Amino acid sequence: MYQTVSTIQASSLTYYDLEFLLEGLMRTIYISIVSILIGTFFGIIFGYFKSNSGPISNIFLSGFLDILRSVPLIIQFILFYSFMGILEIDISVFWVGAIVLSAYTSAFVTEVVRAGIDSVPQTTRRASRSLGLSYWQDYRYIVFPLGVRTVFPAWISIVLSVIKDSALVSVIGYLELLKTTEELISKTQEALLLLLGVGFFYFIISYPISLYAAHLERKLKI
């Protein structure tokens, strides 16, 4: 009788299970977009300071960003979540995940932006200033258009990485795509089918981004 009950409990996937899975997919997309936008914003600011500030300021900023890049992301999630609990700060698991992912993203975007700014030859920048462009006009009309060609491919790689790394938010209980899949596997015992479905979902998110990025990159080179 026990085996019969177990077989019934390990039921096939239903419409409601698919709906639950799609909700997890939407949460994955949502936290990825929020983290990419915030991380890119701060990465641009940090990248600008790294390119233009003195060596002493760079030591502190580089040290902080190196920690974010070096410590495994899953450990950052657990430590930050535990730290919020110790301080008794009422914060949702979504924002715990978004803050950590944003900081992690900004650490990589910083180096990409710094490299983009530094890739613009100083002779070109001096020529723009000699033509009467102000400091910010130099950035707007010279540094930004030229730097984007260097930054864009690397930034897309970071975006794709963040989308995949968002699965690690499941360790703190956020019901994103991987977490919902784990719960459905426990319910239905359809591990292979569900994991293939999750892989397909990540593919249909990432592949169009890669194609569009390649298209834009070709246009930037024209």
- The model's pLDDT over 164-220, given as tens digits with 9 standing for 90+, comes to 899 899 899 888 888 888 888 888 787 888 888 888 888 888 888 888 888 777 776
pTM, two decimals, is 0.85
User: 39 with 103: CB under 8 angstroms?
Assistant: yes
Residue 34 inside a domain? The answer is yes
Residue 147 has a pLDDT of 84
- Which pLDDT tens digit goes with each residue over 4-46? 334 445 567 777 878 888 888 899 999 999 999 999 999 999 9
Residue 72 inside a domain? The answer is yes
- Give the range with max mean pLDDT: 52-66, 94-108, 201-215: 94-108
When pLDDT is averaged across residues 96-117 and rounded to a whole number, the result is: 94
CATH of residue 70's domain is 1.10.3720.10
Measured distance CA(23)–CA(10) in Å, rounded = 21
Residue 8 inside a domain? The answer is no
Q: 128: domain range?
A: 14-221
- In 92-217, the DSSP E strands lie at none
Residue 1 has a pLDDT of 38
Measured distance CA(160)–CA(155) in Å, rounded = 9
